[in-house]
Amino acid sequence: MLNLNPGTTVLQSPNNVRPNISFHFNIFPPFSTVKFALRSHYASPKTSFSMLKAKRREEDISSQPFDIEMDDDYGDDNEGYEASSGFRGREEEKNYDKDPEFAEILGSCLDDPEKARSKMEDRLRKKRNKILHTKTGSGTPMKVTFNKFDFSNSYIWFEFYNTPLEKDISLICDTIRSWHIIGRLGGCNSMNMQLSQSPLEKRPSYDAIQGANVNPTTFYNIGDLEVQDNLARIWVDIGTTEPLILDVLINALTQISSDYIGIKQLVFGGSELENWKESLTTEDAGYSVHRI
């Protein structure tokens, strides 16, 4: 049941009800006004002078060289770095990891050690001229032996401690060549030793007639120097039996062995020497011939 109260206001239709709803999409307050002040392009003289002075100071600082001190350890670890061009790397260093010959030798060490050793010896023989020897000569005296030596037809054998280099072989050849020239000219004649046999307390004198009447000694012929690894030999035909000419050679080789290249032994005579192989006649096998 609906009770009407006379004191109340007239009812309005629901369609006439308009709720007071406001929609505000901009929940943030509006931006404040920004004002730009336009300045002249020309600054005051005081400001321009200070800016120019600061700019000059920066240029002076940038132009001054900086000395950077680096520890020795740092320098060793950073080889190949240059300040002007950056990191260049070690251009001159050879990459031995890409050496196929050396890689083959290392690869055969476990499977066949003897084969690897033989290849290494061949490599050292071929490149022996590029190997630096820290020591030349030997403090051990050179051993000299005679094995059925014939003055008219015999070999002289050399055994070195190490494989001789080109400069060592050149020195040996020059010595033998000089020895042969002196002997061929009759310089090693023990029958005419007037000065060495005269007393030292007297004034030396020389009898030309006596020297001319002495039987001459002539070095007839000599072969080429053959080298095979650390061994060498040379054929000689001295002709006359003259021990003095051998003493001259031994004295010269003794000094060479002490100062330049160590000679283990010097053998006069004999048709063969231990480790000498007649079948090795190629340079790849370590054989070479040098003309005297």
Q: Where are the domains of the chain?
A: 96-126, 132-189+217-290
User: Cα–Cα distance between 88 and 90 in angstroms, integer?
Assistant: 7
pLDDT at 66 over 80: no
> What are the tens digits of pLDDT across the range 86-127?
444 454 555 555 667 667 777 767 677 888 788 777 777 776
For range 215-244, the mean pLDDT:
93
CA dist., res. 131 & res. 267, Å (int): 28
Q: Report pLDDT for 84.
A: 44
pTM score, whole prediction: 0.56
Which is it for the CA torsion 73, 77, 81, 83, positive or negative? negative
Right CATH for 132-189+217-290 from 2.60.450, 3.30.70, 1.10.10, 1.10.238:
3.30.70
Nearest Cα to Cα of residue 224 among 238, 215, 235: 235
Cβ atoms of 245 and 183 closer than 8 Å: yes
At 20, the pLDDT band (50, 70, 90 cuts) reads low
CA atoms within 13 A on the CB side of 285: 12
